A = this chain, B = another copy of it.
Amino acid sequence: MFKTTVTPRFGDVDGLKHVNNIVPAIWFEQARNPLFEIFVPDFDLSYEKWNLIMVRTEFDFVGQMYLGMDVEIRSYISKIGNSSFTMYQEAWQNGKLAVKGKAVAVHYDFVNQKSVPIPDSIREKLMEHFIEGID
C-alpha cells in the first residue's frame, strides 16, 4: 500500500461546501505516481517508453470531505491479469473513509498500439501492494 497526503484547496470545495466529486479523481491520479514508476521508472512520456493506458475508473462517494484538513490517499493493487491490472484507492479525511475508487490500466505498447503481458519482474513489485478481497 502507498500512502499519499494531499491538501484540499479553496477551489476544490464546491457550492455545497464539500470537496467536489471531480477532485478525488485528480488526487487518485496523483497517488498513482509510485505505481506508474514501477512501469516507467524515469517517467519518460514518449510512446517508446510509456507503457500504460487507462481503460476504466470508478468512484464511490461514501462520505464528505472539507477544506482545512489534509486527506490521505491509500493505493493498493486489487487484481492482476495477463496484461491489465486494477488499482484500488481510498481517500480518508479525519479518520473517515470518504471515497473508494478503482482504476483499470493496461500494459500497452503505444508504438504498435496493442496490449502487452505484464512481465514477472513488474508483477512481483505490484504484488507488494496487493489487497485481498476487493475485486
Contact = CB atoms under 8 A, between A and B. Distances in A.
A58 B104 CA distance: 11
Contact of A43 (B29, B42, B67): B67
A14 B21 CA distance: 13
Contacts of A110: 16
Contacts of A9: 26, 29-30, 33
Contact of A61 (B7, B11, B54): B54
Interface string A1-25: 0001001111101111100111101
A29 B33 contact: no
Contacts of A13: 14-15, 45
A16 to B, nearest CB: 6
A11 B7 contact: no
A21 B57 contact: yes
Top 4 nearest A-B pairs (CB, nearest first) are: A15-B45, A43-B68, A11-B20, A9-B30
21 contacts: A7-B30, A9-B29, A10-B15, A10-B32, A11-B20, A11-B23, A13-B14, A15-B15, A15-B67, A16-B50, A17-B45, A21-B29, A22-B22, A25-B57, A43-B67, A43-B68, A55-B61, A55-B62, A56-B58, A57-B58, A58-B58
